[in-house]
């Protein structure tokens, strides 16, 4: 199925989870946070939260700023 990760289209397995989406972009294990369709998904729930087709996944970290 198609999902959008940080604005880019990705093709993931139909039963893909948030953890699978993170693996697809090779995200580091620490210092990141995830929102799916505008809702925060807690780290503890990454492996168990299934993505819907066309889900918008945002993966954020801290950058220089402020």
Partner 1 sequence: MDVVQDETLVVGGRKIGSRLITGTGGAANLEVLERALVASGTTLTTVAMRRIDARTGTGVLDLLRRLGIEVLPNTAGCRTAAEAVLTARLAREALETDLVKLEVVADERTLLPDPIELLDAAEQLVDDGFTVLPYTNDDPVLARKLEQVGCAAVMPLGSPIGTGLGIRNPHNIEMIVAEAGVPVVLDAGIGTASEAAQAMELGCDAVLLATAVTRAADPERMAHAMRLAVEAGYAARHAGRIPRRYWAQASSPEID
Where on the chain is the footprint of partner 1 (CB under 8 A)? 6-7, 25-28, 30-35, 38, 40, 42-43, 58-66
Main-chain dihedrals φ then ψ at residue 22, nearest 5 degrees: -65, -40
CB contact set of 65 (below 8 Å; sequence gap of 6+): none
The DSSP call for residue 31 is: S
Which one, 36 or 51, has the nearer CB to partner 1? Answer: 36
Which one, 14 or 28, has the nearer CB to partner 1? Answer: 28
Min separation Cβ 14 and partner 1, Å: 25
């Amino acid at each position: 199925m198609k999902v959008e990760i940080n604005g880019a289209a990705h093709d993931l397995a139909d039963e893909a989870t948030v953890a699978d989406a993170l693996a697809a972009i090779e995200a580091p294990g620490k210092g990141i946070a995830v929102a799916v369709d505008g809702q925060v998904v807690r780290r503890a729930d990454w492996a168990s939260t299934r993505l819907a087709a066309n889900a918008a996944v945002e993966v954020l970290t801290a950058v220089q700023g402020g």
